[in-house]
């Protein structure tokens, strides 16, 4: 048995970018920063930030594009994948590790940049979710054709 599960709670580093597969299925890409605070060997407080590449499929991708903005806090559950491709300039192979999100939960409230990411400095990003909007979304992935919306 094996488990491939990732759980992240962090802030968006950039606005989601949506593209469409040849089948018409939307795919959103964005980055999430997670930070860890610790005390260094010299006794000073330190902070380390990790950047994670996120991929979201289906209706969830469109919702991410519509409601998530740089700096917004987000909770992600998904699985880790690694892609390889040949570089366009022919200098060799490129590798990218990504989290394919199966659950995305928007945090930080309406229009809240939720600290650390800079959206607060931009006036909150202007996110107006509709009344009754739920941040709980069904799992997404390449086989989400069974979802009735």
Residue 33: CATH number of its domain:
2.40.50.140
The boundaries of the domain holding residue 94 are 6-142
Residues 14-66: pLDDT tens digits? Answer: 999 999 999 999 999 999 999 999 998 999 999 999 999 999 999 999 999 99
Put simply, whether the predicted model's pTM sits higher than 0.85 gets the answer no
Determine, yes or no, domain membership for 149: no
Determine, yes or no, domain membership for 23: yes
* DSSP assignment string, the chain: -----EEEEEEESS--EEEE-TTS-EEEEEEEEEEEEEE-TTS-EEEEEEEEEEEEETHHHHHHHHH--TT-EEEEEEEEEEEEEE-TTSS-EEEEEEEEEEEEEE-S-TT---SSSSGGGGTGGG--PPTT--------STTGGGS--
């Amino acid at each position: 048995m094996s488990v491939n599960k990732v759980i992240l709670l962090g802030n968006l580093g950039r606005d989601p970018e949506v593209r469409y597969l040849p089948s018409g299925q939307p795919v959103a890409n964005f980055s999430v920063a997670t930070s860890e605070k610790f005390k260094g060997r010299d006794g000073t407080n330190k902070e380390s930030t990790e950047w994670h590449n996120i991929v979201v499929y289906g209706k969830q991708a469109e919702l991410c594009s519509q409601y998530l903005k740089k700096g917004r806090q987000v909770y992600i559950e998904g699985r880790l994948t690694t892609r390889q491709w040949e570089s366009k300039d022919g200098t060799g192979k490129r590798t990218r590790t990504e989290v394919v999100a199966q659950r995305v939960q928007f945090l930080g409230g309406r229009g809240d940049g939720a600290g650390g990411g800079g959206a607060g400095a931009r006036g909150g990003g202007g996110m107006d979710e509709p009344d009754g909007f739920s941040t709980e979304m069904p799992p997404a992935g390449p086989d989400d054709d069974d979802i009735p919306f």
